[in-house]
Amino acid sequence: MKTTFIFSICICSLFLFINNSDVLAENENAKPLEKYKDKVSYIIGTNIAKSLVNFKEEIELDMLIDGIKDQFNKKTLRVAEEEAESVMREFSAKMNKRQREKNKLLAKGAIEVGNKFLEENGKKKGVVTTESGLQYLILEQGDGPNPERTDKVKVHYRGTTIDGAEFDSSYKRGKPASFPVNGVIKGWTEALLLMNVGSKYKLFIPSELAYGQRGAGPSIGPNAVLIFEVELLGIEK
């Protein structure tokens, strides 16, 4: 069968993650593994299985184990290759549809949560709301020049979601970042044009001025409001 190694090992590992209270109780008192090969096998299984929790309703555990045994022992498989590919295409389409529906619900919920946050945040002392909906709080006011859209700037920054989860930080990397003023998300561009060199602002960026409905990677969901602390260190003409 034309399956990838990763997919095969993920499916083989799924049985380790099935939510069975009796199994969990037994594992809590299990004897620690000593053999290197046993440890490697167990760690691979548990690590990969964590990503398969959304599939467990689609899995028949006994059949999964039979498939593992037949494949490992090189027995004649009980599902022909052509049918297997058809079944897996159907499975993939089903999972993609489920994920799209889940994303729609998350996106709708994010809009409601984000709007409520911005409404309450905009009432706080010192927070300024611009015409676009961008909110900012001046932490330190510099006395240097303002950048222009065509400038390249050097900044230190830290980005979090509204629940405080950090997704990026130049401070942690120990090195400032440089980029064009007009080469970043709209909320950043607008804020940088307001800042003087030496200033430090806290930005509260609505999703439409950030990554919108598409989100960005695993840390920034659809329609997410983002918070940044931005320190403008200099302008590179």
Pinpoint the residues of the chain covered by CATH 3.10.50.40.
Answer: 124-236
- Per-residue pLDDT, 26: 52
Q: What is the pLDDT of residue 159?
A: 97
What confidence score (pLDDT) does residue 101 get? Answer: 83
Chain-centroid distance of CA 116 in Å reads 22
Amino acid 22: pLDDT: 41
* pTM of this prediction exceeds 0.75: no
Mean pLDDT by 10 residues, the chain (237 residues): 45 42 50 88 76 74 81 89 91 86 79 94 97 97 95 97 94 96 96 97 97 87 94 92
pLDDT value of position 119: 96
Architecture of domain 124-236: Roll (3.10)
Q: Are strands 152-161 and 226-236 parallel, antiparallel or unpaired?
A: antiparallel
Q: What is the pLDDT of residue 49?
A: 67
Per-residue pLDDT at 4: 45
